[in-house]
A and B are shown apart, each in its own frame.
Chain A
Amino acid sequence: MVKTLEDLAKIRDKTREALAARKGDLTTKIVVGMGTCGIAAGAREVMSAILDELGKRNLTGIAVTQTGCVGLCDKEPLVEVSKPGQPRVTYGLVTSERARRIVAQHVVNDQIVGEWVIGTQG
């Protein structure tokens, strides 16, 4: 199907509806490391997988953002998940497959994927 800018109106309405339905929710934050080290290690594929998975599950209102190099270059790609009222969890050596599981298990079901965690805070 050919995509045109007019499609954005549909996305806007759909997203607004979804956001209105979960009014009052505090936002979950997902941060992907996108310094030179992160990008060379596959941060783009990881970020694409996260957004793609969120899209498939119709999860809207989650803030996905990026950060530069945090000095843990050998553990890139890094993904940090913080859910309201829970500790901030950093995952290391994330692949696109792992990223999808982090979305399903941690973001959706509140189960931290212990085996890939390299640090928690808070």
Chain B
Amino acid sequence: MKEISLHIMDIVQNSVEAGATKVSIGVDVDSGRDLLTITVSDNGRGMDSEMTRRVTDPFVTSRTTRRVGLGLSLLKDTARQTGGRLEVLSAEGEGTRVIATLGLSHIDRPPLGDIASTLACLIAANKSIDIDYHHACDGREFSVRTEELRSRLSGVSLADPLVFCFVREYAEQGISQLCSTTPSLLV
């Protein structure tokens, strides 16, 4: 994956396939500790401890259409390349949490990329799932909650093209303002 935001999109897809109705996405930029932390938590069906242990192995997957599962193993590689790590916590029937820690200034860290389009696509493509997005940049914060969008739209779908365009621009603005003091942290 060329961008961290594509990894995020991919990990959220796991949550969707695990039947989650609520997904929280966190992006935390901490220049003091030189860390970029990505968290995806869901309330999907979760995994037993054996599967949780093996899930970052590329030859392990629950799918039936192909026999390799690449998403988490790719993210694990990316995290490790930057001196970080990937942690997967899961409980059957409760949900799964994926935490990727990356070296913020590490030369091998991919850029965050187009996170606004990623978020807008995720919201439009999964209109009945509650998605909470939280982005923090050295203490400044920006968030989007589909529950709030939905209540303001009163009945109009989150998959509506105009809503998609709104979400993308809204997130783009919010996130770029967040990192305005430290533009180098945007990527």
Where the two chains meet, the residues of A that have a C-beta atom closer than 8 Å to any C-beta of B are 2-5, 7-9, 11-12, 14-16, 32, 34-37, 39-40, 44-45, 47-48, 51-52, 54-55, 59-66, 68-71, 73
* Contact bitstring B118-162, A, C-beta under 8 A = 1, else 0: 101100111100000000000000000000110011111001111
Answer whether A47 and B166 are a contact pair too, CB < 8 Å, given A39-B6, A39-B10: no
Please pick, from B66, B69, B121, the residue contacting A47 in the complex, using a CB distance under 8 A: B121
Q: Main secondary structure on chain B at its contact with chain A?
A: helix
Q: Does B92 belong to the interface (CB within 8 Å)?
A: no
What is the bound-complex CA distance between A34 and B16, given in angstroms?
Answer: 11
Answer whether A66 and B1 are a contact pair too, CB < 8 Å, given A48-B168, A71-B65, A73-B66: no
CB under 8 Å from chain A, chain B span 13-53: 13, 16-17
What is the bound-complex CA distance between A48 and B118, given in angstroms?
Answer: 9
Chain A hits for B74, CB < 8 A: 36
Excluding A5-B149, A36-B69, 8 further A-B contacts by CB distance (< 8 Å) are: A3-B173, A8-B149, A36-B70, A44-B6, A48-B117, A48-B164, A51-B165, A61-B160
A11–B66 contact, CB under 8 A?
Answer: no
Where the two chains meet, the residues of B that have a C-beta atom closer than 8 Å to any C-beta of A are 1, 6, 9-10, 13, 16-17, 63, 65-66, 69-71, 74, 114, 117-118, 120-121, 124-127, 148-149, 152-156, 159-166, 168-170, 173
Least CB distance, B77 to chain A, in whole angstroms: 13
B65–A11 contact, CB under 8 A?
Answer: no
Least CB distance, A121 to chain B, in whole angstroms: 17
Least CB distance, A27 to chain B, in whole angstroms: 11
A-B contact pairs, 6 of them (CB 8 A): A16-B156, A34-B9, A34-B125, A35-B13, A39-B13, A52-B165
Chain B hits for A55, CB < 8 A: 161-162, 164-165
Answer whether A11 and B71 are a contact pair too, CB < 8 Å, given A48-B120, A68-B63: no
Answer whether A65 and B161 are a contact pair too, CB < 8 Å, given A11-B153, A35-B13, A48-B120: no
Chain B hits for A14, CB < 8 A: 162
What is the bound-complex CA distance between A23 and B163, given in angstroms?
Answer: 20
Chain B hits for A11, CB < 8 A: 153, 156, 160, 162-163, 166
Please pick, from A3, A4, A34, A59, the residue contacting B161 in the complex, using a CB distance under 8 A: A59
Least CB distance, A29 to chain B, in whole angstroms: 11
The closest CB in chain A to the CB of B159 belongs to A64
What is the bound-complex CA distance between A47 and B170, given in angstroms?
Answer: 18
Answer whether A69 and B63 are a contact pair too, CB < 8 Å, given A11-B166, A35-B13, A44-B9: yes
Least CB distance, A55 to chain B, in whole angstroms: 4
B118–A47 contact, CB under 8 A?
Answer: no
